[in-house]
């Protein structure tokens, strides 16, 4: 059974800091891994999608890496801004066509 965990559960940083969010999954047989952002009371916004054959994806100040063999992904946010404050969720698509989510990391960027 695929399980997804995220560390840390919550993170508070001063504006301008670079930060790393971690995601781990137990079954390496995934099709892809996706990072999402969720603002309080809102739906999910897709940030980055990494296919199982890829090692990283970049979009602006965001960089996501994937190490399938070790079951890990990291989301790197450069030069954090208060507008980055949100919950960040990682999700893996399994061979059973299901998307399994982690519990999320709640990020607060202090001005």
Partner 1 sequence: DTGVSQNPRHKITKRGQNVTFRCDPISEHNRLYWYRQTLGQGPEFLTYFQNEAQLEKSRLLSDRFSAERPKGSFSTLEIQRTEQGDSAMYLCASSVLQGADTEAFFGQGTRLTVV
Q: Write out the residues near partner 1 by the rule CB under 8 A.
A: 4, 6, 31-32, 34, 36, 41-46, 49, 51-53, 89, 91, 93, 96-104
Coil, strand, or helix at residue 83? helix
Judged by CB, which is closer to partner 1: 60, or 111?
Answer: 60
Q: Smallest gap, in angstroms, from Cβ of residue 41 to partner 1?
A: 7
Judged by CB, which is closer to partner 1: 38, or 63?
Answer: 38
40 phi and psi, to 5 degrees? -55, 125
Q: Smallest gap, in angstroms, from Cβ of residue 3 to partner 1?
A: 11
Judged by CB, which is closer to partner 1: 80, or 88?
Answer: 88
Nearest to 24 by CA among 62, 69, 85: 69
- How many residues appear in the chain? 111
- Residue 41, by phi and psi: left (phi above 0), alpha (psi -120 to 50) or beta? left
């Amino acid at each position: 059974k695929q399980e997804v965990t995220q560390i840390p559960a919550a993170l508070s940083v001063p504006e301008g800091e670079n930060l790393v969010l971690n995601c781990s999954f137990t079954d390496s047989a995934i099709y892809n891994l996706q990072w999402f952002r969720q603002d309080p009371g809102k739906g999910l916004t897709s940030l980055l999608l990494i296919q199982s054959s890829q090692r990283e994806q970049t979009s602006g100040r965001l960089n996501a890496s994937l190490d399938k063999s070790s079951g890990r992904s990291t989301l790197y946010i450069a030069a954090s801004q208060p507008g980055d404050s949100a919950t960040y969720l990682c999700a893996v698509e399994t061979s059973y066509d299901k998307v399994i989510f982690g519990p999320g990391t709640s990020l607060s960027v202090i001005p």
